[in-house]
């Protein structure tokens, strides 16, 4: 069972944030508007956790918001390199958790959100 089944990342500049996440994860995000909120969805497959960046009243980015661990496989360094090139910054570099658990790193995205990354190597 997944402990996280959805996540939403509040953004203050929708287009900038969408470009940031598409760039660092090398993905395309689909966009929709739901009940006055603009959302761009991370890739989603049956049985996996996914989420969206969200823009609209009530979505206020916070540097101290929820800490989400996003999949950065195969190697967190690849995502870190793309994150800095896309305007983010690294606040904790690639760090070993344990041989059986992998690595983590923390970044701050273009909206000021603190995000954790995890990879097996």
Q: What are the tens digits of pLDDT across the range 9-42?
A: 999 999 999 999 999 999 999 999 988 899 999 9
Question: What would the two tokens of residue 54 be?
Answer: 């969200």
Distance CA 62, CA 60 (A): 6
User: Among residues of the chain, what percentage have pLDDT more than 90?
Assistant: 63
Q: How far apart are CA 13 and CA 7, in angstroms?
A: 18
Cα separation values, 35 from 8, 38, 39, 57, 86, Å: 15, 9, 10, 11, 30
Average pLDDT over residues 52-57: 90
pLDDT value of residue 69: 87
pLDDT confidence of residue 32 = 95
């Amino acid at each position: 069972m997944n402990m996280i089944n959805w996540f939403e990342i509040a953004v203050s500049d929708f287009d900038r944030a969408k470009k940031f996440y598409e760039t660092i994860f090398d993905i395309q995000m689909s966009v929709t508007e739901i009940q006055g909120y603009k959302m761009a969805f991370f890739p989603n497959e049956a049985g996996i956790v996914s989420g969206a960046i969200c823009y609209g009243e009530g979505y206020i980015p916070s540097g101290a918001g929820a800490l989400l661990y996003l999949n950065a496989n195969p190697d967190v360094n690849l995502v870190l390199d793309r994150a800095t090139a896309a305007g983010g910054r690294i606040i904790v570099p690639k760090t070993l958790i344990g041989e059986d658990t992998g690595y983590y790193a923390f970044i701050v995205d273009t909206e000021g959100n603190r995000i954790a990354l995890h990879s097996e190597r």
